[in-house]
Amino acid sequence: MSHLIQAIDIDGTRYCVKHGASTPKWRTVAFTDEGVDPVGGEDNDEWEVPVNFTERIGLLTFGTSCIWKATIRFILEASSEGCSGDVTVNDTLIGSFSRDDDGSPGEHIDFLVDLSDLGFIDRPCGNIWRIGFIAWTEEPNTVPIIIKIIDVTYGPPV
């Protein structure tokens, strides 16, 4: 099943909503910095940030339509020595984190985005999400940071 919506403008170019692991599709293609790859394909809503260097700064961008809530999850490994991340929607900061220690293996940090609470639920041309990250180590490291979108809820609320 598909439905018609107005294309979403991301940085001056229009994109259709035709991706996402749920049905109906709810987001545009995701734009990432070089070396940040989708895990299992574009519709899987999961990206891997390789940390096989001493520093990585990047950004993941996509547009959404017809959803009410979603959770952005950062999955960090113990050997990801230092990292930080933030989530914004329509240039409004939703949350951020910074970690300078080794943490626990498989540790995750979640940001629940509720578009209704933010006042963005009725935007006719969609919402622009940007997920920024910085990862650093003193020695080159090969353990990735994973960014996932989980718990997508269609809306608006009733």
User: Per the domain annotation, does 50 fall within a domain?
Assistant: yes
Q: Are 118 and 128 in contact (CB under 8 A)?
A: no
Asked if residue 124 lies in contact with residue 71, where contact means CB atoms within 8 angstroms, the answer is no
pTM: 0.85
What is the reported pLDDT for 145? 81
Is residue 117 domain-resident? yes
Question: In this structure, what CATH number is given to the domain that contains residue 104?
Answer: 2.60.120
Residue with tokens 């809820």: 153
Does residue 20 lie within any of the structural domains? Answer: no
57 in a domain, yes or no? yes
Q: What is the tally of structural domains in the chain?
A: 1
Q: Would you call 44 helix, strand, or coil by DSSP?
A: helix
For residue 96, the SS3 value is: strand
Domain span at residue 40? 31-154
Residue 80: left if φ>0, alpha if ψ -120 to 50, beta else—which one?
beta
3-state secondary structure of 42: helix
The answer to whether position 23 is within a domain reads: no
pLDDT given at position 23: 79
Identify which of 51, 33, 34, 32 has the alpha carbon closest to the alpha carbon of residue 42. Answer: 32
Mean pLDDT by 10 residues, the chain (158 residues): 65 88 87 81 87 74 91 77 87 90 74 93 83 77 80 81
In a domain, 18, yes or no: no
Q: Cα 145 to chain center, whole Å? A: 12
> Is residue 8 situated within a structural domain?
no
